[in-house]
A and B are shown apart, each in its own frame.
Chain A
Amino acid sequence: MEFVQNFPFFSIILSMFAGIVSSVLDGKWAKRVSLCLVTAVIAMSAAILVWTLRTGESYTYMMGHFPAPWGNEIRAGVLEALTATIFGVVMLLSIVGGMNWIFVDVEPAKTNLFFIMVDLMLSSLLAMIYTNDLFTAYVFVEINTIAPAA
């Protein structure tokens, strides 16, 4: 397995980890973490896109030591990589475009909570794009409905 094939897993887990870490950061640091994360996700998604275009095939990735249907599994192909890249770019534009308003509209003590929602929403979008498992999609749909509502 080539290292680039790990990128879908890295994208999802990094987004979740960034959300968790932002809970103890202040708003400005949470913003920096969020921007770095989205940039990294775009870069990784673009790398997967290039790799899948070059090889012309999709692949499945075992999340752990057990194959599907016993364990979890994700699947990456051209469509998934392209969708993840577009979502990443849209997310980056949304954060950068609304940057001034975020710090006006959201109370200062709650800005980090806003970026937790952004990070976890991105993670849920990525998990829904890549997952090859209906139950995993159900769990991440929940995150995806709660985060934008918050």
Chain B
Amino acid sequence: MSRERDNYENSGWRRFERWMEGETDPLQGRVEVKRPGQETKKVVQIPIDYQKIEEAVYNTDKNLNMKFFRVFYKVMSAILCFGIIAVLLWTVSYLPVTGNPSNPNNNEVSARYIESGLQETGAVNVVTGMILDYRAFDTFGESCVLFIASCCVLILLRIDLGSSSGQLKRRLADADDRYYEPKNDVILQQVAFILVPLIFIFGIYIVLNGHLSPGGGFSGGAVLGSGLILYLNAFGFKKTEEIFTEKRYRRITLAALSFYCLAKSYSFFTGANHIPSGIPLGTPGAIISSGLILPLNICVGMVVACTMYTFYACSERRDVKMAAHLLMNVEETASMILFGVGFTMLLLHRNLIKKIMGLNIMDTAVYLFLAAKGYIEGRKVPIIVDGIQDASAYINPIPSGLVLTGIVVSVSVTAIMLSLTIRLYQRYGSLDIDEILMQYRKEER
């Protein structure tokens, strides 16, 4: 039987425990502390008229400094944006010409993916083989980005009526779209009745043929998710939850991600220890082929579809030479201008939704840039046809994989930003950043 030590209270472990519990103040005895009661001077509370302060600070007719600052901010933002666009365009003018096979990004990495991809992965679609076999660890990370983003949206927007305060509960209940159910839009319901099964079949086709043709888990999952969203819009939450509840979503995501994790762990472990995996690749071109790629595509598709639906359901509830070179690199030039437009929106607009749109335009500009860098003039998409496995027959598949990753990350980040915006709107009743900051400062005081 254990016995408490005689000097347990003074032991090192107990002192550490007290510190962890927050019972000990590390500054006690080291700094002079004046308790509130000891002060002799009486503090007079002056009521603060926030309306007056707001009027004095934000009314540009009265506050000339604010008026000057706003104009100065806009001018400086415009100068900054044009400066950035100019620097980016200047950089593009020095980049190698788009579509040239001798560009440095068309190296031995992309050559091996095309020339040996079919034998090593069994996938006819080189991009799918690359992301789900060669670089499956990155793709697992991407799936986890989607998973963590859906968890974030649930944290921010899920209505937990059991633990919320009365006022918050009422406000959240008002924001809940279920208030408007049952939905009686006959046209939408009839259209959804015909379209939803077709969308599902198309989504499943894209997922199952991801290793044979353009598509795969990410794109097929997005199609399946949009089918679910259409069904939700047409028939409402009550009917949708007969087939798809939050519990079911969690179980599907758990099953899909667990399978991915276990299957690829086996693959990573055997690969690192130089043990043959023993998974047959099948006949290239057949539906049951390419080893683990088909089941992994199904897993990714399920995660993407569930995540898209969760995002929606939660938010619903709430010089001449230089110029010539620039024209030769027209895609890169357009992407840099697009990037500048997005950056300008981010800086100049005070509305949070418009800022998010600006960020998305910047994202799109980067995808366009990457896609342009992968393009090689006169070559085909990297899907092996007629057994031709020559690297000189296809475009570079690596940028396509990078764009896919970028899109996944961008969707996740956008969903989180929109969720935060919804929460801010619910709390402050405004999307204007200045207004939100003003109200926040009021609360702080």
Contacts and interface: CB of A to CB of B under 8 A. Distances in A.
B141 A20 contact: no
Contacts of A135: 135, 138, 402, 405
A20 B257 contact: yes
Given A19-B144, A100-B21, A108-B162, A64 B258 contact: no
A19 B250 CA distance: 12
**Chain A interface extent, by class:** 35 or more
A69 B258 CA distance: 27
Interface centre among A65, A109, A117 (most CB of B within 10 A): A65
Interface centre among B113, B136, B148, B163 (most CB of A within 10 A): B148
Nearest to A139: B141
A136 B158 contact: no
Contact of A109 (B160, B409, B412): B160
Interface string A102-138: 0000011110011011001001000100000101101
A27 to B, nearest CB: 12
B84 interface: no
Contacts, number: 147
A78 interface: no
B271 A66 contact: yes
A146 B412 contact: yes
B208 to A, nearest CB: 23
B144 A63 contact: no
Contacts of A61: 272
A65 B135 CA distance: 10
Given A20-B254, A120-B144, A110 B413 contact: no
B413 A136 contact: no
B141 A140 contact: yes
A148 B149 CA distance: 12
Interface string A48-72: 0000000000000111111001111
Given A109-B160, A142-B412, A117 B142 contact: no
A127 B120 CA distance: 26
Interface in B168-192: none
Contact of A107 (B142, B163, B264, B409): B163
Interface string A91-102: 001001100100
Contacts of B156: 150
B341 interface: no
A95 to B, nearest CB: 11
Interface centre among A1, A133, A139 (most CB of B within 10 A): A139
A14 to B, nearest CB: 9
A150 B151 contact: yes
Interface string A1-37: 1000010010001001101110110000000000000
A140 B158 CA distance: 26
Interface in B221-272: 250-251, 253-254, 257-258, 261, 264-265, 267-272
B295 to A, nearest CB: 16
Interface in B381-437: 402, 405, 409, 412-413, 416
Contact of B261 (A20, A97, A143): A20
B82 interface: no
Interface of B: 20-21, 109, 112-113, 120, 133-138, 140-142, 144-145, 147-149, 151-152, 154-156, 158, 160, 162-164, 250-251, 253-254, 257-258, 261, 264-265, 267-274, 277, 402, 405, 409, 412-413, 416
Interface of A: 1, 6, 9, 13, 16-17, 19-21, 23-24, 61-66, 69-72, 93, 96-97, 100, 107-110, 113-114, 116-117, 120, 123, 127, 133, 135-136, 138-140, 142-143, 146-147, 149-150
19 contacts: A6-B272, A13-B265, A13-B268, A19-B147, A20-B147, A23-B253, A61-B272, A64-B264, A65-B120, A66-B120, A70-B112, A72-B135, A108-B163, A110-B154, A117-B148, A136-B138, A139-B405, A146-B412, A150-B148
